[in-house]
Structure 1
Amino acid sequence: KWRGVKVLKFSLGFGPALFSVTRGETEYRVSWVPLGGYVQMAGDSPGPDGTMPGGENQFLSHPWYGRVLICLAGPAANLLTAFVVMVTVGLVGVSYPDYPNRLGAVPDTSVAYRAGLRPGDAITAVNSVPVKTWVQIFFTNSKQPRGKSVDVRVERGERSFVVPLAPEQREPFFSSLQRPAVPPVVGSVVTGMPAYKAGLKEGDWIVAVNGRPVTTWDELPRALRGTVDHPVRLRVKRAGREFDVVVTPINPDGRDSRNARIGIEPPYAGVFLEHHGLLESIDLGFRATVSMVGSVYGGLWLTISRPLYYREYVGGPLFIAQAASEQARRGLDAYLQFLAMINIAIMAFNLLPLPVLDGGHVLLALIEAVRRQSISARAYLTFQKVGLVVMGTLFVLILANDPLRLVQRQRALEKAPRGAAPAPTPTSHPAPRERPLAPAPP
């Protein structure tokens, strides 16, 4: 409208209208299929007689640069929305999986051992600031001035003592700290990943990987390393009964072929919430948005370059609803990050050079600019027809994936032992999304 183009319809979703209201010359509607949305402008395609529009308020009669601006406005709004959401995440607080402030293994070659720490010790204060959780230890140290000494208070049984650390000792000391080992219990299962389709459930205890016993969570990534695209037999304990589950790890980032993931996350004992000021949140939001854009385009390239491999991990409305529910259960920050990621994904999809999408219109406008000649109605219609076939195929594949994924999981669950509830876990907290201080989920 800012460019003087008449807008006929603004729709959230596709297909028949669920409800609509008309204001001026524009119909605003919510449609049945919740896969993005669209704007219908006057003159956005050739007329029935095969001629190109010529009116001043017609989209295709606008100069090429005007059409590019119009088509980039939507993706730009998605990008801006993602940035604002990520700034909000910083303000409301970023949650990290947390554990008790008690030490696990202390190797006799470590700086912590030489400082007098032993397994089972509890760190209760850093520079007289009380700490009660594992992440709080490192967070409090990071807030102390750089280049300054700090004192660490340690409790062992009924006695306590102070460990003084010179500035050059701080980083080696804190880097050498290890928390107690986490058992190989499934804290949560990521929707759509191999473990989800194989029927693994929250609370399952993984006893062995390909016959190799595992006793801690950290042993799982090592046991799965190098098994991408190869069936792996997991020995699982559920409600006191053991059985085998076959799962095929994938390589989600497409880089290191040894980076095998099945989509499970560990349990944790609590949550540490870190709040940021406005300026910090703006910086966090910018960096997080840039990272998300790279991640989304990386995933899009993998899907395009290896469609048969990655297509089953693409989801439609049902998958998005499941994932949104999963993130909401983990906390407000996880849910907001998911909304930001959805906005980036919509932006990336809309910029694909396909008809109907903004990227298709931008491509045609740029071709017109290079040729210095308008696209003929015949060429435009041919481009539209080819693109609609591609779009239709994509939508069918996306929509078909959702029920197929559920069927696969249900079949896997039916094969598992029946008649008992999931085995108890060491914690009642669901696992959050992968965080900087969390163990990497296999």
Structure 2
Amino acid sequence: MDLQNLAAFVLLLGALVFVHELGHFLFAKAVGVKVLRFSIGFGPPLLSFTRGETEYRIAALPLGGYVKMAGEVPGEDASPEDEARSYLAQSPWKRMLIVAAGPAFNLIFPLLIFFVVIVSYPQPSTAVLRVVPGMPADGAGIRPGDVVTEVDGRSVRSLEEMQWALVGKAGQRIAVVVQRDGRPVKVVVTPSGEGASRNRGLIGIAPNRAPPVVAIRSGGPAERAGVQMLDRVLSVNGRPVADLPALEREIAGVTGPELTLELARRVPAEVPGLEGSVPEVKTVRIPRQEGAGMAAFGLEPADVYSLLYAGRVLPGSAAADAGIVRGDRLEAIEGKQIRSREQLLRKLGELKDRPFRLTWIHDGSPREAEVRMRPAKAADPATGESEAFELGLRFESGTPGDRGSDAKVRVGPGLALLTAAHRLGEAVAETAAGLAKLFTGQVSFKNVGGPIMIYGIAGKAAQAGLDYFLNLMALISVNLGLINLVPIPALDGFQLLSAGWEAVRRRPIPMRAREIANAVGIVALILLMVLVCVNDLTR
């Protein structure tokens, strides 16, 4: 067991459990209930001390925690001096506050996490480093190098702020102001609704540059020299290149009879069950032929961020059976052009297992076939895996980890708080929708993960960086908060329901009914833990 992964797992769960139980603890103290114990974890204590009337402990099993209050369990005797301070002696509304505080803290905590991350790390700016061909920004005349400062009368500084300004604007003509060469320029843009999410219009700009990736012309000098489709160019005649425009400029400036390229190439990792790849660096020399620029060497620029180049075709998939190979470029579904990955994924999600007509470009020529996607398991960073229908393509996006020279901007506390609130709102809405689909059977229970899955993704997030780890913690906190509000016995939601019932009916739920419900709840939770662990082990 990797100690770094274990530490990340314990820190992640420990923090979320502490926040949840802290909510119960603080509100119990606030309304006058006696708290006997505040425990992080279950089982024998590893560390324990007493302050005032409360014992604080860290226990051996870090898979939960609890706040033990006087008179919390029906039938439990409290000392005469504690009778008025026992949990069940409190009015229903006080008990509802205590119970609701745990999930509420889990839902508020991500706001703090998002705020800290946004303030601490530069955020994507509105600088235009790339314009997607054929999208509204391209048609309106927005250029790389512009900086968007205003959208439909609203000032914007960060990419997220600009995206909010585009919500509900699909199909509408709106004014966009960009800063160009030190002066403001106003253009009119009609955001597209195709492939948009959360009712947000798309205009087709991005704060990252396309990496210097090349396509090759069949039979040309580059192919004969050993260049392959979607190789990434590291240098031209010894001069490093950082992005696609720089690559085109360097090759256009070559005057000699030969071109030397240093290339990074994706090589599939030959490990069973692994879809990854490793980079291989090669140097090639390409003789010049007739023509100008890249064409003189049998090369073409491949904008892998703007266009849908197939980076890998899964063996036995629908795409492989149709004849798609690495380097082919997807063009249309049912004759309708696909302009972005978001649009493609949305369309494929609508089609599911229905047959459709797919058009792609192979070696400069269009090809077409009827395709039907097949059931597959799609990875999801929040839930592990989910059943889906898959075309069988992995799209090229440059060298692993390469996202071009992203344009960043520092944001102040005000904008950071607003951005954090938006992120939290989206996380709560998406998590609630996912839980609703799970409970209504629209999503298989196989999607549900447990401690083993969290252990795995916590370790990966920690390795990726502190900001990734904190964002993961925020998303799991939202999950924990909403799940605890489900009215299932042994969860906070049932305790809220019980207190609400008592407040309305002016009498508690009968003792026998409570005992049966608690017993059923405990059995259900144990069964749930067994099932999620089976899911984790199956993965």
TM-score, length of structure 2 as denominator length: 0.53
Correspondence for 2:196? none
1:165–1:369 CA distance, 2 compared to 1 (3 A): closer
Return the match for 1:201 from 266, 270, 276: 276
1:42 aligns with 2:70: yes
Correspondence for 2:517? 383
Number of aligned residue pairs: 346
Return the match for 1:30 from 58, 75, 82: 58
1:364 aligns with 2:498: yes
Are the equivalent residues in 2 in contact too, given 1:229–1:250 (CA < 8 A)? no
Gaps of 5+ in 2: 1-28, 150-156, 163-174, 192-201, 214-229, 233-264, 280-310, 331-340, 355-373
1:209-246 Cα offsets, whole Å, 9 max, x none, are: 4223144597485696567579xxxxxxxxxxxxxxx9
Are the equivalent residues in 1 in contact too, given 2:375–2:388 (CA < 8 A)? no
1:167 aligns with 2:302: no
1:48–1:74 CA distance, 2 compared to 1 (3 A): closer
Alignment of 1:218-297 (within 5 A): 219=330, 221=344, 228=352, 248-249=376-377, 266=397, 267=400, 268-270=402-404, 271-297=406-432
Counterpart-to-counterpart distance in 1, 2:158 and 2:55: 55
1:364–1:177 CA distance, 2 compared to 1 (3 A): closer
Counterpart-to-counterpart distance in 2, 1:167 and 1:310: 49
Return the match for 1:6 from 10, 21, 34: 34
Letter in 2 for 1:394: L
User: Which protein is richer in strand relative to its size?
Assistant: 2
Q: How far 1:284 sits from its partner (Å)?
A: 0.8
- The root-mean-square deviation of aligned C-alpha atoms, in Å, is 4.9
1:2–1:101 CA distance, 2 compared to 1 (3 A): closer
Alignment of 1:88-167 (within 5 A): 88-93=116-121, 101=129, 112=138, 123=144, 125-126=145-146, 150-151=179-180, 166-167=185-186
1:82-119 Cα offsets, whole Å, 9 max, x none, are: 11111112211355599995778x56x9885897x9xx
1:2-33 Cα offsets, whole Å, 9 max, x none, are: 22222222222334434333333322222333
Q: How far 1:363 sits from its partner (Å)?
A: 0.8
Letter in 2 for 1:207: V
1:202–1:31 CA distance, 2 compared to 1 (3 A): farther
1:386–1:113 CA distance, 2 compared to 1 (3 A): closer
Q: Which has the larger radius of gyration?
A: 2
Correspondence for 2:362? none
Alignment of 1:275-424 (within 5 A): 275-306=410-441, 309-405=443-539
Counterpart-to-counterpart distance in 1, 2:42 and 2:128: 49
Q: How far 1:396 sits from its partner (Å)?
A: 1.3
Are the equivalent residues in 2 in contact too, given 1:97–1:269 (CA < 8 A)? no
1:66 aligns with 2:201: no
Are the equivalent residues in 2 in contact too, given 1:229–1:248 (CA < 8 A)? no
Counterpart-to-counterpart distance in 1, 2:461 and 2:111: 18
Letter in 2 for 1:74: G
1:338–1:352 CA distance, 2 compared to 1 (3 A): same
1:142-196 Cα offsets, whole Å, 9 max, x none, are: 7xxx77574369xxxxxxxxxx995125789x94669658759999xxxxxxxx9
TM-score, length of structure 1 as denominator length: 0.63
Q: How far 1:278 sits from its partner (Å)?
A: 0.6
Gaps of 5+ in 1: 130-136, 154-163, 188-195, 231-245, 406-442
1:266-288 Cα offsets, whole Å, 9 max, x none, are: 54334544421111011111111
Q: Is the partner of 2:444 in helix, strand or coil?
A: helix
1:409-441 Cα offsets, whole Å, 9 max, x none, are: xxxxxxxxxxxxxxxxxxxxxxxxxxxxxxxxx
Q: Is the partner of 2:498 in helix, strand or coil?
A: helix
Q: How far 1:292 sits from its partner (Å)?
A: 1.1
Q: How far 1:330 sits from its partner (Å)?
A: 3.3
1:320–1:151 CA distance, 2 compared to 1 (3 A): same
Q: Higher relative CO (CA 8 A, sep ≥ 6), structure 1 or 2?
A: 1
Counterpart-to-counterpart distance in 1, 2:231 and 2:503: 59
Q: Is the partner of 2:187 in helix, strand or coil?
A: helix
Q: What is the percentage of aligned positions where both structures have the same residue?
A: 29
1:296–1:393 CA distance, 2 compared to 1 (3 A): same
Letter in 1 for 2:180: D
1:36–1:291 CA distance, 2 compared to 1 (3 A): farther
Are the equivalent residues in 1 in contact too, given 2:375–2:390 (CA < 8 A)? no
